[in-house]
Structure 1
Amino acid sequence: MCGIAGVWRKRDPIGIADLSDIARMMQALAHRGPDDHDSWSSGRLALGHRRLAIIDPSPAAREPMLTACGQGVLVYNGEVYNYRTLRQVLEAEGRVFRSVSDAEVVLQALHHWGPEKAVPLFDGMFSFAYFDVRSSALWLARDRLGIKPMSVAETGGRILFASEDKAILACEGFPCRVDAREITLRLAWQSRDSSYSLFEGIERLPPAGLWKITDGGIEKRRFWHVLDVLETARITGDTASDAVQMATLQTLLEDSVELHCIADTSIAAACSGGVDSGLITALAKRFRPEIHGYVVDPLLGHSEAANAERTGRHVGVSLRRVPVDRNRFFELWPKVIWHLESDGWHASHVGLMAMAEQCRADGVKVLLTGEGADELFGGYAWQASSMRAWRAWSWPARLFRSKRWLDRKFQRLRQAPFSRSIGHGGGWSHNAVLRALSPDLNFLQPEIFDRLQPVTPLTDRAFLGSCFFDMYSHLQDLLHRHDRLSMAASVELRVPFLENRLIDYAIHLPRRHKYRDKTGKWLLKKVAEKHIPRENIHAPKVGFEISPHFTAGIHGLLRGGFLRDAMKWPAASIDDFVGLARRDVASRLRLVGMELFLRLHAGGETTEKLTETLHAAARNDQT
């Protein structure tokens, strides 16, 4: 896991100013790779790399890495877990290796097979820049679900790219301008963080992005999308018994966890009281007997620590509590926003950063988590609620409606088919306006629904479609959070549920294996019953919650702040927004979080100063 940076000159050769920018970019990414760093330049390209050494920590795995012939160059961030298998194939085809790293396998595969053939073979999380001297082509890529990030900015004479926006902002002369439209979209609760920047002039590779940069410009393509790989016949034709599906899922999970335990360093598990992380912790114990776990323990609010420790005792893994009180929350929240490059609106953001910092203090470089299971296996309540609107076509309800009525309702619902769709249940004009806010994401909803046309009944189609849509909406924000906040503490966070074969298996499961008897993640929970306490498996799903008292009083920051000016709030409305933030915790975190973001980037304040500001606001509200 690392940080990467690069400058591509469109015409002129790389100069001293470009090399200075690479140095600035690498400094801005120092937290992503404190173990080593290096740079390389030739012709019109300069590359920089910050290394977090996890697989093959020897100097032989240093990057930027060149092929023996010098015709291929790589900077790479992430892990390709099937690198040993790929290496065997490459060696059989005559390739010779100088290290035992996965980075060299990635480089050799790209150079020998070409990116278009090699990248779909990579099973893991990654972003990279690969330069093929033979064709003078620079390739930028990101893994299929966007676990690892890549930001890009095109200026008049250069293309800049890096693991985080802040590295591009560090380049001499690059303007730090916040995009008011992006602020609006986030305040409208759009899922934006993974694929869109809040800064003008910076874009991010989408999940499965594979961009080719040549003298002709940037050719943007993707190598994977659920709409491209979905085989509805596998869903409709599934006749496997529950026992067969359980055995299949068990094997796939074991194989994935074993791959994710590959590391030449210590590994721990993020173990909440729920099913997903508990199951990953239990399976990881088989491959890493020494593994221990962490659980965040908010000292105000709901704590999962007791449930997590129940799982720990059951599977023989010791758990370390990470306490978070109000002082710790105020200390970390501005840092969270700095590293997220967004508003840090959810309380769990602070919890994750606290956990990552504790890992690093304990000498742990790799943390396993259960993220992705809810999207793939149907664990969210809103996925199940997506079925409700489509019950009019079920027997016997459809007998009480005319065909004309059903047809009209179908066309209306098809535009916003899932319960979390923008404009779900609203009128045509309402849907159109909301879709215009974020067309690429919101027009994906009917595309997914139409792609599932052979699936019946319509309730099943809506449920599965909701799961697929979450892969490109809700999951994207979670993955962005995981990368930025773990890497802020120089910790690699791995997500075993998002392994290639598991993804393929999950997207082709019928609804009955995901949601049955009013139970989400039905099949996954059946597998989990073999490994973790039933009491934890069947407990109500609880997110990371903190008491409203954690942030009470900070709504006052919205008076006279940067957000007011950016959004052009009328003076008469300020009291209304402050009142909303006082009453509603979610709105308070989102609005004040965006205010803190603007104070950092538009006002130039430090995270330490903002911590003091939060404390002062809370005290003033009590007087």
Structure 2
Amino acid sequence: MCGIAGFINHNGKEADGAIVKQMLQRLYHRGPDHQQSWVFQNIAMGYTRLKILDLTEQGNQPFVTEDGKGILFYNGEVYNFRELRKELEHKGGQFKSKCDTEVVLSALKILGPVTAVQLFNGMFAFAYYDLNRKELWLGRDRTGIKPLYYTKSNGITAFASEIKALFGHPAIPTRPDLHALTSFILEKRLNRITPFDDVQEIKPGTLVRIRNEHFEEIVYFDLSRDIDVNRIVEGGLINGDFLLNNLEELLSGCVESHLQSDAPLAFMTSGGVDSSLITAIAKDYRPNIQAYVADVKGEEENEVGRAKIACEHIGVNLKTVPIDLDDYLRLWPKVIYHNDEPLYFRQSIMHMAVAEAVKKDGYKVLLCGEGADELFGGYFWYEKVHRTWLMRDKRLAYLKYIKPYHGILKKLTYLESLFNFDALLNNPFFDPFSKDFLENRNIAAIGGGITKIRQKVIFKKLSEKLSNADSAFIARSIEDFELHLGTSIKMNDKMNMAFSIESRVPFLDNRLIDFGIHLPVKAKYDNGVLKSLLKKSAEKKLPHTLIHQKKIGFHVSKGMYNFSTNLLNGGCMEHWFKWRVNEKKNILAQIESDNFLKFQLMSAELWGRIFFNNEQSENLTEKLYM
């Protein structure tokens, strides 16, 4: 819907309105329909608007309370705003527009930010300034669908929807965070840390209150903390048909809520169960639907065939977006610029290609199917960790018989790992046959230490009332909700907003999150079928063969790796990580032998050249061919 940005001078110096306008220029793609700023004493804030609800000027921001003491700049959609509006009217709230922004402002003013934000069902990031208290509140939705960042430097706090806008302020330095980059290389992704020094991502489900130079972080939603294990236990006693009926009611209501728009909307329909089911349900409410799918050239197992079957069955139009190597290399640097970070997901480039096509066709909203795998148990590694713990429990039953041989086992490191129960509890997803795990010493040095601690805590909480196997299944899904999904939906937003397209994610409606995470494992993994309850619902809307085919996802053909790594020679990565001249040839050869490593290091190199060398996307595309 929008991009927001602003800053506070903590030394009391008058804020310069020209600076906030410079910051907003870097967010123009997020809101080309209207731009506005507000300056008062030492604070300046502004926004860029993408008109989705209430296309009139009444929807323009800032929204200001009647007494003039509360100022709001807001990005996103709160889907239950009509219900909230009625409640607020009973408490004295008065409204002039038909958009959700005014309801958000009224709730923040009447109820206070801490209470209000817990009532918002939607995706949002906002900046709310209370003139009476001289407090700035920054807030973000439960799952982080809408991004928001801030930084403190030289007596200034700046915030923005995208990191690049922070550097529109001349007092904010642009420096790489080598600790974060090291974590990225070792772990393949960033764990809620940014690759820029002193730039922080406001975590999902979090409010930040800033008064003078005092910062208070208030976590109003944390899935690991807020999950109710008793509800999962009780869910195991509920009839499966009852759960199915509840799911279908919720799905229908959530999709209907996400269709609220005064601007044209379309669907990302890959042919997988999740996006196809969302499209099928939406068809019940909107007969004329346009769907899109990426057609990656050279990939034998792409999604186009399945998407065609799904859309023909549902009765919706499907447009394929062809992507070849030229498209891939043309978009890659642009993707890096809009993502603000090196890439984990290779499909980010295909996602941007689809967004580009959607924009050309005149749409402003794109519904996607993210979130179902994490909430309803769709990834194969959930099955793997469940089976692993079933085997571990059997082995542990024999533990007492092998204690006399413990000394011998300790010498055989891998066998020790199979029987050391304390070690397994500390590493609930540990696979002794895989090298892809974190050693204890890494906790102190890289970002993944946070992940390891989080895994241990949630597994312990669950296993007090659930079996170890079920606990591991759910704990792994929560970890993916935090990290895998967190990375995916943040990328989603930025790829779409690069072309002024709003992403919507019906599966991440508050109601479905609460329902899905509290389902028992038997509703997610039944007789070898993953995502079993959701698939039962899908049987009523989609072809049976489509539902039970092997999951594909966005793939990248081998031909897409036919790019040059010459950029690494004498580039940012070489400089930051101090590659020795006599070792560089071997380093580059090793990188060439691993396609994913090659992609990630090249992404980091492109990121460095764009943000620190000020190189243009078009020039970098040319260099990728060399």
Say whether the 8 Å CA contact 2:174–2:196 is kept in structure 1.
yes
Is structure 2 residue 573 aligned with structure 1 residue 563? yes
Answer yes or no: is the 8 Å Cα contact 1:385–1:419 preserved in 2.
Answer: no
2:439 counterpart letter in structure 1: H
Conserved? CA contact 2:303–2:553, under 8 Å: no
**Aligned-partner Cα distance in 1 for 2:266–2:579:** 46
Secondary structure at the counterpart of residue 529 of structure 2: coil
For 1:424 and 1:511, the matched residues in 2 are separated by: 25
Shift of the alpha carbon at 1:366?
0.4
* Residue-by-residue CA offset, 1:559-581 (whole Å, 9 max, x unaligned): 22221111112334323332233
**Corresponding residue for residue 205 of structure 1:** 202
What is the aligned partner in structure 2 of residue 308 from structure 1?
307
State the shift of 1:81 in Å.
0.5
Is the counterpart of residue 184 in structure 1 residue 194 in structure 2?
Answer: no
**Distance in structure 2 (CA, Å) of the matches to 1:577 and 1:81:** 51
Deviation at 1:464, TM superposition (A): 0.6
- Hey, what does 1:621 align to over in structure 2? none
Q: Measured at CA, do residues 429 and 147 of structure 1 come closer, stay the same or move farther in structure 2, by a change above 3 Å?
A: closer
- Partners of 1:35 and 1:581 in 2: CA distance: 44
* Alpha-carbon offset, residue 413 of structure 1: 1.2
1:278-327 CA distance string (max 9 Å, x none): 00110111122211100000112132111101100111111001110111
Q: Report what 1:102 is aligned to.
A: 100
Q: 2:264–2:364: 8 Å Cα contact kept in structure 1?
A: yes
Task: Name the stretch that deviates more: 566-575 or 509-518.
Answer: 566-575
Name the TM-score, length of structure 2 as normaliser: 0.94
Residue number in structure 2 paired with 1:363 = 362
The answer to whether 1:243 aligns with 2:254 is: no
Q: Kindly state the Cα deviation for residue 513 of structure 1 after the two structures are TM-superposed.
A: 0.8
Q: Distance in 2 between matches of 1:104 and 1:295?
A: 35
**Deviation readout 1:90-142 (Å, 9 max, x if unpaired):** 11222110100000000000001100110000000101000112221110001
CA contact (8 A) 1:14 1:46 kept: no
Counterparts of 2:304 and 2:284, CA distance in 1? 23
Match of 1:14 in 2: 14
- Contact 2:268/2:292 (8 A) holds in 1: yes
Is residue 525 of structure 2 the alignment partner of residue 515 of structure 1? Answer: yes
Distance in 2 (CA, whole Å) between partners of 1:153 and 1:24 is 17
Whether 1:545 and 2:545 are equivalent positions in the alignment is no
Q: 1:490–1:571: structure 2 CA closer, same or farther, 3 Å change rule? A: same
Deviates more, 1:225-234 or 1:102-111: 225-234
Mapping of residues 124-163 of structure 1, within 5 Å: 124-163=122-161
Q: Could you say which residue in structure 2 is the equivalent of 1:620?
A: none
Corresponding position of 1:2: 2
Partner residue in 2 for 1:389: 388
**Secondary structure of 1:402's match?**
helix
- 1:398 Cα deviation after fit: 4.3
Quote the Cα distance in structure 2 between the aligned partners of 1:160 and 1:63. Answer: 19
Tell me if 1:432 matches 2:432. Answer: no
Q: Aligned partners of 2:213, 2:44: CA distance in 1, in Å? A: 19
From 454, 475, 479, the equivalent of 1:469 is: 479
Contact 2:263 2:364 in 1 (8 A): yes
Structure 1 counterpart SS, 2:72? strand
What is the CA–CA distance in structure 1 between the aligned matches of 2:287 and 2:564, rounded to whole Å? 45
Letter in 2 for 1:3: G
Which of 514, 525, 540 is the matching residue for 1:504? 514
Amino acid aligned to 1:591? L
CA deviation vs aligned residue, 1:554-613 (integer Å, no higher than 9, x gap)? 233322222111111233432333223323221121111111111112222100000111
Tell me what 2:77 maps to.
79
Letter in 2 for 1:590: Q
1:148–1:429 CA distance, 2 compared to 1 (3 A):
closer
Native 8 Å contact 1:413 1:424 kept in 2: no
Alpha-carbon distance between aligned partners in 2 of 1:91 and 1:424, rounded to the nearest angstrom: 61
* Alpha-carbon contact 1:556-1:578 (below 8 Å) kept: no
Q: How many Å separate the matches in 2 of 1:613 and 1:588?
A: 15
- Counterpart-to-counterpart distance in 1, 2:194 and 2:224: 25
Q: How does 1:482-497 map to 2 (within 5 A)?
A: 482-497=492-507
**Equivalent position of 2:111 in the other structure:** 113
Question: Could you say what secondary structure the match of 1:347 adopts?
Answer: coil
Which whole-Å CA distance do the structure 2 matches of 1:341 and 1:467 have between them?
Answer: 27
Match of 2:544 in 1: 534
Structure 1 distance, partners of 2:212, 2:567, is 48
C-alpha distance in structure 2 between counterparts of 1:296 and 1:139, whole Å = 39
Render the CA deviation track for 1:410-440: whole Å, top value 9, x for unaligned.
Answer: 21012221259xx997799923325631233
Query: In structure 1, what residue type is equivalent to 2:67?
Result: C
Which residue identity is paired with 1:555? T
What displacement does 1:465 show?
A: 0.6
Report the alpha carbon displacement of residue 26 of structure 1 after superposing the two structures with TM: 0.6
Q: What TM-score comes out, normalization by structure 1 length?
A: 0.94
Tell me, yes or no, if the aligned pair for 2:429 and 2:476 is still in contact at 8 Å: yes
Structure 1 range deviating more: 515-524 or 103-112: 515-524
- Which of 397, 414, 429 is 1:418 aligned to? 429
- Select between 255-264 and 547-556 the one with higher mean Cα deviation: 547-556
Query: Do 2:154 and 2:171's aligned partners in 1 also have CA atoms closer than 8 Å?
Result: no
The RMSD of aligned alpha carbons is: 2.0
Q: Which runs of 5+ in 2 are unaligned?
A: 407-416
Q: Does the CA contact (< 8 Å) of 2:364 and 2:500 recur in 1?
A: yes
How many residues align? The count is 610
Q: What displacement does 1:391 show?
A: 2.4
Inter-partner Cα distance in structure 1 for 2:89 and 2:443: 53
Whole-angstrom CA distance in 2 between matches of 1:514 and 1:419: 22
How far 1:347 moved relative to its partner?
Answer: 2.5
SS of 1:309 mapped into structure 2: helix
Query: Is 1:81–1:124's contact at 8 Å kept on the other side of the alignment?
Result: yes
**Could you tell me how far apart the structure 1 residues matched to 2:180 and 2:433 are?**
22
Q: Do the aligned residues in 2 keep the contact of 1:377 with 1:514 (CA within 8 Å)?
A: yes
- Measure, in 1, the Cα distance between the counterparts of 2:298 and 2:444: 38
Alignment of 1:234 onto 2:231 = yes
Deviations 1:255-279, CA, capped at 9 Å, x for gaps? 1000000000111100002111000
Runs of 5+ unmatched residues, structure 1:
618-623
Contact 2:268-2:291 at 8 Å conserved across structures? yes
Aligned-pair CA distance for 1:514: 0.8
Over 4 Å off, 4+ runs:
403-408, 423-429
Distance in 2 between residues matched to 1:536 and 1:101, nearest whole Å: 39
What do residues 365-400 of structure 1 show as CA deviations (whole Å, max 9, x unaligned)? 0000000111111111122212243224545x4443
Distance in 2, matches of 1:601 and 1:432, equals: 32
Is the counterpart of residue 219 in structure 1 residue 216 in structure 2? yes
Cα separation, 2, equivalents of 1:277 and 1:58:
31
Cα displacement (A) at 1:454: 2.9
Shift in alpha-carbon separation, 1:419–1:435, aligned structure 2, 3 A: farther
Give, in whole Å, the separation in 2 of the partners of 1:286 and 1:581: 50
